[in-house]
């Protein structure tokens, strides 16, 4: 029973490290990268003035009343 805690702790530390690295990699490649690509694709063709005019026409802004 000697050094039981030390052996188990070493095993669990390595296991926790590899699980956390795996979760971080899954998040990066499963969520963060597709999200970055989606934002880049959206802003590639985004026209802020056209969007502003559309919001102005619907009455979203109080400072710029619709015509």
Place of tokens 């490649």: 29
Task: Report the pLDDT value the prediction gives residue 50, as an integer from 0 to 100.
Answer: 96
CA distances in angstroms from 35 to 28, 31, 41, 44, 49, listed in the order given: 10, 6, 10, 14, 24
Question: What residues does each domain of the chain span?
Answer: 4-58
**First-residue to last-residue Cα distance in the chain:** 83
**4-58 CATH choice from 3.40.50.150, 3.40.50.300, 4.10.93.10, 3.40.50.720:** 4.10.93.10
Res 1 pLDDT > 80: no
What's the confidence (pLDDT) of residue 65?
81
User: Each residue of 11-53: pLDDT tens digit?
Assistant: 999 999 999 999 999 999 999 999 999 999 999 999 999 999 9
Please determine, for residue 67, whether its predicted confidence score (pLDDT) is greater than 80: no
- Report CA torsion sign: 49, 52, 58, 61: negative
């Amino acid at each position: 029973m000697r050094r039981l805690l030390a052996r188990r702790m070493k095993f669990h530390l390595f296991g926790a490290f590899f699980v956390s690295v795996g979760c971080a990699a899954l998040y990066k490649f499963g969520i963060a990268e597709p999200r970055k690509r989606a934002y880049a694709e959206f802003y590639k063709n985004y026209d802020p003035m056209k969007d502003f005019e559309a919001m102005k026409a619907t009455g979203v802004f109080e400072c710029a009343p619709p015509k």
